[in-house]
Structure 1
Amino acid sequence: MSRLDSMLRRLTAQRDGLNWAVYQISGMAGDVLDMGLGNGRTYDHLREILPDRRIWVMDRVLQCHPSSTPPAEDFLQGEAEPMLQKLAEGGPRIAFGHYDFGRGVKEEDVAEAARLSPLIAQVLLPGGLLISGQPLVGFEQISGPDTIAPDRYLFYRA
């Protein structure tokens, strides 16, 4: 598979997973957490499909497209560990989290996801939903939408 086809497959899975998640949390109170702002495409989509939810965003640096810049009070800038700890100080409040941290080196990205998993668990409400391109630990893995190959995107409940 070409890198272009792989990217299209990943982005389609991401979009389908985000859209599916909206229905999964529809009766649940709580905020949304987008871990890894990047260019801001996912955040922009989350704003569109979850207009009535507060969306927290975290990343090392703010370098997204200007139209996808989150409000300053919802952006946690810095390394993931202290940002997750800061968010956890208020207690669990996240109904849905999207994990998209990574540098593109599979072994390092998998190790980082495993290391951050306990901190992510601290901010998720019981029964909260988490979707990720990386394997996370300590969560109940569930099946996502049928349109997504099981190895392409991962779905979890807190």
Structure 2
Amino acid sequence: MSRLDSMLRRLTAQRDGLNWAAEQITDVPGDALDMGLGNGRTYDHLREILPDRRIWVIDRVLQCHPSCVPPEKDFLQGEAEPMLQRLATEGHKIVLAHYDFGFGVKEKDVAEAATMSPVIASVMAPGGIIVSGQPLVGFEELDGPEGIPEGRYMFYRA
């Protein structure tokens, strides 16, 4: 498979997974969280599918497309662990989280996801859904929507 085809498959899985997750949490109160803003594509999609929810964003730097800059009050700039701890301490509960942190080195990304899992759990509302490009630990793994190849995206319930 070409890298272009692989990227298209990943982005389609991400979009379909986020849409599916949004349908799962319609009756669960709480906020959304995008971990890893990047250029803002996912955040922009979350704004579209969750127009009535507050969407928190965590990233080390703000370098997204100008049309995707989150409100200053919702952007937590810095390392993820203290930002998640801040959300937990302030009592925010997340019903839909998207995990997209990584270094681009599979072993390192998997290790970081495992390390971050308990901190992510601390902000999740019971029944909340996590959509992740990396395997997380300590959550109930879900099948997710049909059509997404196994391992392409992972889905969890808090």
Shared fold (TM-score, shorter chain, > 0.5): yes
Give the residue type in structure 1 aligned to 2:139: F
8 Å Cα contact 2:21/2:129 also seen in 1? yes
How far 1:149 moved relative to its partner? 1.0
Equivalent residue, structure 2, for 1:37? 37
8 Å Cα contact 2:31/2:92 also seen in 1? no
- State how 1:105-116 maps to structure 2 within 5 Å: 105-116=105-116
Residue 58 of structure 2 corresponds to residue 58 of structure 1 = yes
How far 1:91 moved relative to its partner? 2.6
Secondary structure of 1:146's aligned partner: coil
8 Å Cα contact 1:94/1:124 also seen in 2? yes
Q: Distance in 1 between matches of 2:82 and 2:92?
A: 16
8 Å Cα contact 1:84/1:123 also seen in 2? yes
CA distance 1:92–1:54, shift in 2 (3 Å)? closer
Secondary structure of 1:4's aligned partner: helix
Segments of structure 2 that go 5 or more residues without pairing to the other structure are none
TM-score (normalizing by structure 2):
0.98
Secondary structure of 2:29's aligned partner: coil
Give the residue type in structure 1 aligned to 2:70: P
Equivalent residue, structure 1, for 2:151? 151
How far 1:28 moved relative to its partner? 0.7
8 Å Cα contact 1:91/1:122 also seen in 2? no
Give deviations 1:9-58, integer Å, cap 9, x for gaps.
00000000011111100111100000000000000000011100000000
How many residue pairs match? The answer is 158
Secondary structure of 1:141's aligned partner: strand
TM-score (normalizing by structure 1):
0.98
Segments of structure 1 that go 5 or more residues without pairing to the other structure are none
Give deviations 1:94-138, integer Å, cap 9, x for gaps.
011000001211011000000000000000011111010100000
Equivalent residue, structure 1, for 2:24? 24
Q: Distance in 2 between matches of 1:59 and 1:92?
A: 18
